[in-house]
Chain A
Amino acid sequence: EGQLLESGGGWEQPGGSLRLSCSASGFIFSSYAMSWVRQAPGRGLEWVSTINEYDETYYADSVKGRFTISRDNSRNTLYLQMNIVRAEDAAIYFCAKKLPYITLDVWGPGTTVTVSS
């Protein structure tokens, strides 16, 4: 089934940049699409981005043009480069593994991003 562990969260001021990482183990990382999902404090879940096994990428409108998802299959690691961050980007960011033709079955514990001046 596998395990995921996010890192890279922290504090950033509006307009700044952060890079999140997600380390995968226990499954063939290169064979699966991977996604980022976030949850603002006290709010619901919001899909952020997905990258498939062919490196095709998809983004929510709220982050398109500011965030970039990527993967390094040699390191079994997923990334989310967050540029021009806004206060509304503050959230717990989860990475998750996506089953073919289905949905997210394995999630990491999340990493917290705080954006304030």
Chain B
Amino acid sequence: DIQMTQSPSSLSASVGDRVTITCRASQDIYSSLAWYQQKPGKAPKLLIYASSRLESGVPSRFSGSGSETDYTLTISSLQPEDIATYYCQYYSRTILSFGGGSKVEIK
């Protein structure tokens, strides 16, 4: 099974800061990597898929990059509405595997 490891598990940043979250897969996942945003009491929202493709309607301050085993989600300028927990996810035709989550707070 493919394991996904996210870091950090939590972070605190100021409005306008650049925020980076990383995700490492236990083996090469060939860019089959998505990022989700989840706010308290809500369902997850798809932000990015195929490592770097922005889902329709997602603000351009969100971006993704990476390949093989290492992937990154970047928020170029943190906004108050970005306070949430972010999850990476490996996907295939048969299984899905989530990272443990990264909680983003405002300093």
Contacts and interface: CB of A to CB of B under 8 A. Distances in A.
A113 B82 CA distance: 29
Interface of B: 1, 34, 36, 38, 42-46, 49-50, 55, 87, 89, 91, 93-101
A37 interface: yes
Most buried by A among B1, B34, B93, B100: B93
Interface residues of A, number: 22
Interface string A56-69: 00101100000000
Interface in A54-102: 58, 60-61, 94, 99, 101-102
Contacts of B34: 102-104
A102 B96 contact: no
A109 B42 CA distance: 6
5 contacts: A45-B44, A47-B97, A102-B91, A103-B49, A104-B44
